[in-house]
Chains A and B, each alone.
Chain A
């Protein structure tokens, strides 16, 4: 394995963690918008309490991914920035409005009308951002971003397959968030989120099938990854097992198990995307090796990542231990 491949692995790991943590925060925004029934206020309050202490830390995974991309794969960063100029600016708009509206709602007057107004900005931007992010990912793997047309076709990314990946991202994040929130809720509120998780799980399945079908026509590399490469079958099996486990656990009310399975399913989907488009960073003509910075850059960055991880993961554990209970990552449902 070359240093560049290792760094690409670290980049993918950062994106997996962003999906698992930052993605679920966007999903929280979805459930804020869709809060309904007799416990509407409680649902919103749970979302707010769940996200409040951690969303900024979760957001840094995206920053880390961006930094690793421009440090390790500068040509890809430049190409992506040019090809996906419009969606990336939309993403930024979503990120800015989501974070600020969430914070402003916490510290503005507790007047219900004011809170509803900020809540709308927060939740709508929480929906826009993952759809655009998914679209960006879809466009990267679709093969529509050819070097020959770079800078001359600002809408090359716009087509059904990338948009379907946007929908998949949204459904997936909503699903994750509902599973996480079901663990953090109790009683009837837990039931609310358990049912929402089941609904979102069905939406994930539908969006995934749609994206897979569209990939046959629009994203040959992804389609090949889904159907006929060496890793396709085991990866599919693992993802399917995770998804089925999540469903079964939700049906039986074992929410901690469901949470772990949903997280595994999400991680496998992101990894599956990475594996499908390997060795390309931007399909069809920018490979990992062609985009990579010299080893003189990459090797020290890998060491810096290792050193940083030694500080980061214990600190993250403290954060989750403080705000997510005594067994922040436990799979076992007990004491029901």
Chain B
């Protein structure tokens, strides 16, 4: 391969990775935030608490901003699949088109009922309004479900045969549910609720430290942290299930994420450490004897296949995968710990202390950091393949050159959008609560305030 092609492959990977890393945040918020917003409205309809209504409306505005960015950045991904990886889509499109088609309908439902929810305050009956919100939450989760199925297929391709570089004998429903689909879907869905729950909880904890009496922020914390904590406590169980599935279906990925170079019985679990691909060992790790065999196979003496058992040119970047995995597990454990503490407070009917609120503020970005790290684990861990053992990423890339140009343009665009989202969300949250009488019956309050 000539130098230009190498640069272009790298630029394509950066651009696609950047687009996904950006979109994934908004996608995760789009799964969890509608649930929070509906829970707030439901609470208001049940108790009549004005703070809950205010909360539902503010969260709806935040959801509107984040959903719009998610919708357009998702469009970028759907086009970039072909723009950057035309050979991949030529092969994979017919095989995994089914989950993408169904995702299209889930996205339709999401967009339609979000429109009704946001602009329908006072225009539609209370039942339809609440049901619209619930449908947004459900179809957001369905979207994530279908898209993750497509990713699961890239990790463990199934449901087709390869003949002269093309997919034949396609069985769409077998491809839709490849081995290991369940663990990935569960893990991804839970991560959306954990990440969004802790991010939202952290923001409200920040304001609650300033104004401990605020009914608004207390209601917000209860809902966001409640959902986030339950998901964060389920996540280690789902993680254990995932590790065993990955061990069975993607042994190279397991070896890379654990930094396991040699095949051995009673393999240790490595916490931290720095994998050295040249020396074929992981240095500086805290090793828990037999830990890996126990976790991956539920048997302390089980044999774990190391990277040496696979051809060198099928290894992913072991250092990156291992480190990303450590970040994900470390942050996930931290969040699970905080969640257990929160539930303990709930059971004892104690208000969160100032110190715990401070901890929540510090933990606010950790859920999303863990989510991004987990996404990197599964994507980096599949390299050098885009479809495991079927197509290498270098075979999938477009022949179009100068990919650095769109890379730079979209990097700037994403930076601009991220900055704007932060500013606008900050404005939504920090504004003093509007009196209930001033609400004009619309989700977008600014709408009624006159044009330019």
Q: Mark A242-259, 1 if CB is under 8 A from B, else 0.
A: 000000000000000000
List of B residues within 8 angstroms of A52 by Cβ: 115, 119, 444, 447
Known: A95-B72, A103-B64, A296-B171. A316 touches B452 (CB 8 A): no
- A56 in complex: contacting residue of B68, B98, B103, CB < 8 Å: B68
Name which of B75-83, B216-224, B232-240 contacts chain A. Answer: B75-83
Among residues of B, the one whose C-beta sits closest to the C-beta of A302 is B101
A71 to B76, CA, bound (A): 17
Contact A294 B94 (CB under 8 A): yes
By CB atoms of chain B within 10 A, which of A44, A45, A49, A297 has the most?
A297
B413 and A63 contacting across the interface, CB-CB below 8 Å: no
Query: What are 26 A-B residue pairs whose CB atoms fall within 8 Å in the complex?
Result: A41-B452, A48-B447, A53-B115, A53-B116, A57-B111, A59-B75, A71-B93, A81-B398, A92-B76, A96-B75, A103-B65, A104-B65, A106-B444, A107-B424, A109-B427, A110-B446, A150-B399, A152-B399, A294-B168, A297-B97, A300-B98, A311-B109, A312-B108, A318-B112, A319-B112, A322-B123
Q: Mark B57-100, 1 if CB is under 8 A from A, else 0.
A: 00001001101110111111011111100110111111101101
Judging by beta carbons under 8 Å apart, are A293 and B93 in contact? yes
- Contacting residues, chain B, for A64 (C-beta < 8 A): 101, 104, 108
A68 to B100, CA, bound (A): 9
Q: Known contacts being A53-B119, A60-B104, A70-B89, is A89 close to B83, with CB within 8 Å?
A: yes
- CB neighbours of B449 from chain A (8 A): 110
For residue B173, which residues in chain A have a CB less than 8 angstroms away from its CB? Answer: 300
- Whether A67 is near chain B, meaning CB under 8 Å from some CB there, is yes
Partner of A304, one of B102, B112, B114: B102
Q: Which one of A112-120, A163-171, A269-277, A328-336 is at the B interface?
A: A112-120
Which listed residue, B81, B398, B406, B451, touches A70 by the CB 8 Å rule?
A: B81
Contact B398–A85 (Cβ < 8 Å):
yes
What are the residues of chain B within 8 A of A98 when measuring CB–CB?
72
Q: Which residues B269-289 have CB closer than 8 A to chain A?
A: none
B401 closest partner in A (C-beta): A154
Known: A67-B97, A96-B73, A103-B68. 6 other contacts (CB 8 A): A59-B71, A60-B108, A79-B86, A93-B413, A300-B98, A311-B109
Known contacts A62-B75, A82-B86, A57 near B97 by CB under 8 Å: no
Across the two chains, which residue of chain A brings its CB closest to B71? A56
B72 contacts across to A, CB distance below 8 A: 95-96, 98-100
B432 vs chain A, min Cβ distance (A): 14
Residues of B within 8 A of A68 (CB): 101
Interchain CB contact under 8 A, B406 and A304: no
How far apart sit A45 and B417, CA to CA, in the bound complex (Å)? 24
Q: B90 contacts which chain A residues (CB < 8 A)?
A: 74-75, 77-78
* Residue A54 CB within 8 A of the other chain: yes
Asked whether A100 lies within 8 Å of B119 as measured between CB atoms, the reply is: no
